A and B are shown apart, each in its own frame.
Chain A
């Protein structure tokens, strides 16, 4: 059964995006990426150390993944746009996961600056995937300025609290004119499955895999969760009922 995800005209084989930060070591990172089946893999752009630098992460990853650079940590439009432009030069990709952080403690997006930065980057030819609030109005504004997808947060980055407001995520999915990628807060495979059941087109996971007791197993679990949730979404869940409905036949009951 083919069920490709298409973002900005690009057909993607996997609905699970995976981040590359915080794994116990590089080999576990590589093994997790493989187990996850991810095609899109996120990276950051950072200043080189002037005291010397080690093997490039990109060389380590090889050519098997589509790298999605982020602007993680940027707090101003100017820094986010420059980081995106440096990423484009470094990785020769127009794609950027735009993050514009409004608060260092909660890492909540600064919506006003986020929309401005998104508009500027779209105007410069970028394919912009913004990390954003789980708010249908914000998501609509981002789509309106030309973002290729929206990436609403499930809960705080790295918190593992799952999807704090499933009704909002479902609402965003039902209204969005662009693909919805659930970003941030995923704690375990059922969170990823729920995101897909609510109508998300894809899920991004990083900490939930990297900091799991067994990252490799969790990478496989996350893959299965996304696939199971997507299948369930396509199949359509039964309506919830307030009373029991016997599943076995009523007729022919012994003793009746």
Chain B
């Protein structure tokens, strides 16, 4: 278990990579238009399976919404 900050919320999650984190959160990694940043840097989709996560990492998971 690692303590991560995911979209502003502290979570205790077992996830070694970005892809595993998405799986653990119940987010379909194949869903289109998702984007992920770790510690303020975008992680390209192709790197989700390999990008390791460490305790304390700050993860943002976003998608487009309505906007002006």
Which A positions have Cβ atoms within 8 angstroms of B? 19-23, 29, 42-48, 50, 52-53, 56-59, 67, 69-70, 72, 78, 82-83, 85-91, 157-158, 204, 206-207
A46-B62 in contact given A19-B67, A19-B68, A20-B67 (Cβ < 8 Å): yes
B62 CB contact (under 8 Å) in A21, A47, A72: A47
Asked if B64 and A82 sit within 8 Å, CB to CB, the answer is no
From DSSP, what is the main secondary structure of chain A's interface residues? mixed
In whole Å, how far is A210's beta carbon from the nearest beta carbon of chain B?
A: 9
Q: What CA separation (Å) do A104 and B64 show in the bound complex?
A: 22
Asked if A47 and B7 sit within 8 Å, CB to CB, the answer is yes
In whole Å, how far is A108's beta carbon from the nearest beta carbon of chain B?
A: 15
Q: Give the total number of A-B pairs whose CB atoms are below 8 A apart.
A: 109
In whole Å, how far is B12's beta carbon from the nearest beta carbon of chain A?
A: 13
B: contact size bracket: 20 to 34
In whole Å, how far is B30's beta carbon from the nearest beta carbon of chain A?
A: 12
In whole Å, how far is A159's beta carbon from the nearest beta carbon of chain B?
A: 12
With both beta carbons as reference points, the residue of chain A lying nearest to B22 in the complex is identified as: A48
Asked if A47 and B37 sit within 8 Å, CB to CB, the answer is no
Q: Which residues of A contact B32 (CB under 8 A)?
A: 56, 58-59
Which B positions have Cβ atoms within 8 angstroms of A? 6-9, 25-27, 31-37, 40, 42, 44-45, 60-68
A45-B61 in contact given A50-B6, A85-B37, A90-B34 (Cβ < 8 Å): no
B66 CB contact (under 8 Å) in A53, A57, A83: A57
A57 CB contact (under 8 Å) in B9, B31, B65, B68: B65
Q: Which residues of B contact A206 (CB under 8 A)?
A: 68
In whole Å, how far is A104's beta carbon from the nearest beta carbon of chain B?
A: 16
In whole Å, how far is A40's beta carbon from the nearest beta carbon of chain B?
A: 12
Asked if B45 and A89 sit within 8 Å, CB to CB, the answer is yes
Q: What CA separation (Å) do A82 and B61 show in the bound complex?
A: 12
In whole Å, how far is B15's beta carbon from the nearest beta carbon of chain A?
A: 13
With both beta carbons as reference points, the residue of chain A lying nearest to B26 in the complex is identified as: A52
A46-B65 in contact given A56-B31, A89-B44 (Cβ < 8 Å): yes
Q: What CA separation (Å) do A228 and B61 show in the bound complex?
A: 43
